[in-house]
Structure 1
């Protein structure tokens, strides 16, 4: 049912004409770093279409920059599924998380301290992300990555401890663990521009990021519902059903209502941002960067929604192979198993 749910995101759709070629280049990258090996691994990875999200979400990305966007997003989902382990087990990716947090405290390009494929692949994409960007941007983006990694540790701890979050607690965690912040930092990198301080820290720009993040979370909670239910994993829909004693469809309607409310804020936020840089004493180029950034993250939000509607990851096929006692669909240990 969730794949038939529609959200009203009044922005144009876009797909890169390089989709097929970029997908193949990304698969070569994933093989090179040992993330996808063997027939079964490639079959699942192709079916899930996780890296394809970049094809809909980064209109500024072409060539090597598009490849970077594919590789970052492919890494995200492969890494995410390493935390989907049978109940009662500790995800091996916890140690990778801690190592990568240490890595992000060092200059980009530093070799990771482990030889895990996920750690090595992350060091590669992080070095490429940082290339050509200012130290200030690198530090900001490193903080976003560390927030994301730390949130994964929180989620793993809560799951092992049997902690049941309420809807507010779950939403707060999702704002970090969904990884939107480092993903929209990629908008600046592939567009080869930066929003300068202090504009990047303004309420207008922060509010735009908040809107984009929350809308993406609400979309993802609906589209991942069946997968989460099969794994007995938390989801905002099931939180609301439990708290409000409402039906599943009623909870989904509430998530759509919340998304609509956030999207109604966006024009006002953009209006505030449109005259931001003059009073800050910043040059006209800075205002152009702010405007371009808001365009880019809005396009990213729309692209994420379009991808959710198309990706194999959110089909019943994947949910049918999920349970509380099996690894995630793209878990590296699962990918070594025979085809179901």
Structure 2
């Protein structure tokens, strides 16, 4: 297999450190995973351990109150497991089953909780994530989550039909498939921020969030290129650039790094423009300060994600397994039994 060296990445943001609640959160996270039966098999537990979702959350949310870090880490673990189930497991190669699983997970927003382990776990977690949050926040979170989940359906269909996305098509897709918009909204959970729609829809805020997602997705592809090559997964920007432009692997990595840098340049420009747009929209006082703080939380998330990729074995020492039958996938979204309404109602 062709090898490559990681490029010199541009990261203009200082680290905000690790949330001090990291150590006291890991034990309760594992207790929850056990109670929800999300990592019962030894291989699944080892894969989650190597992923280190508590560390990821502590880096993503360095300023969150300690009480918020546990649900943030639970969601991080849940999202990683969903991602692996749909990317690496058999359900991601069955469009009809994938569509049914996505529909069940989205229905949790309305209080419908099916009896597959991952949907049931989301039904348990969602009320704690949404506690005290406005409908604006809830709808933003679920819009991001639904968009992320539906990208896995697109990928399932593409696998079956043999369609390979072009580089421009994939770059647009990747901003959604990386699943970071929900994580940006989760920054508000632990920092007492709840932005109104007028702030969420400012052009600079939307560009800032898209640029953060684009950088994270591109950076993740560079760090995951070896694993994806070994698994035969061509849905990676580095590999698409290599094939589409007839580049060496190292040249493709360098070009992807240039794209990651471009995303950061756009992010910086959006952050610089945000203050003027808040003024133009007449957004003042605490709301204005919250908007700027929310933008800075996104920047801290970008830096935290960067550091995380050099600290978690999932990326520093990837397990190169055959795609389609990895032993860490438990098929946790398959054949649920109806469960009826949950005890909570959203909206």
TM-score norm. by structure 2 comes to 0.87
User: Do the aligned residues in 1 keep the contact of 2:56 with 2:308 (CA within 8 Å)?
Assistant: yes
Report the counterpart of residue 298 of structure 1 in structure 2: 299
Q: Deviations over 1:253-309 (max 9, x none)?
A: 111111222222333322211233333222311110111011100000110111111
Map 1:156-175; keep pairs closer than 5 Å: 156-175=156-175
Summarize the Cα distance change of 1:3–1:196 in structure 2 as closer, same or farther, 3 Å threshold. Answer: farther
With 1-10 and 307-316 compared, the bigger mean Cα shift is at: 1-10
Is 2:101 the counterpart of 1:100?
no
**Structure 1 residues 102-161: Cα deviation after superposition (integer angstroms, max 9, x where no partner):** 333x2xxx241x111100111222222211111122122211111111111111121122
CA contact (8 A) 2:98 2:153 kept: no
* Equivalent residue, structure 2, for 1:217: 217
Which residue matches 1:45? 48
Change (3 A) 1:158 1:225: same
Moved >3 Å (runs of 4+): 1-6, 38-41, 86-89, 91-94
The verdict on how the C-alpha distance between 1:100 and 1:209 changes in structure 2, with shifts beyond 3 A counting, is same
Q: Please list every run of 5 or more consecutive structure 2 residues that lacks an aligned counterpart in the other structure.
A: 333-347
1:324 aligned partner? 323
Q: Deviations over 1:36-78 (max 9, x none)?
A: 2254432332123244211111022232200011111101110
**Matched ranges for 1:174-185 at <5 A:** 174-185=174-185
RMSD: 2.2
Counterpart in the other structure of 1:289: 290
* Mapping of residues 130-279 of structure 1, within 5 Å: 130-233=130-233, 234-279=235-280
Aligned residue-pair number: 326
SS of structure 2 residue aligned to 1:16: coil
Which deviations, in whole Å up to 9, do the C-alpha atoms of 1:161-207 show, x marking residues without a partner?
22111111212221111111111110112212122231210111111
Contact 1:51 1:70 in 2 (8 A): yes
Q: Name stretches of at least 5 consecutive residues in structure 1 with no aligned partner.
A: 335-340
* CA pair 38-232 structure 1, distance change in 2 beyond 3 A: closer
Please give the TM-score of this superposition, normalised by the length of structure 1.
0.89
What's the offset of the Cα at 1:332? Answer: 1.5
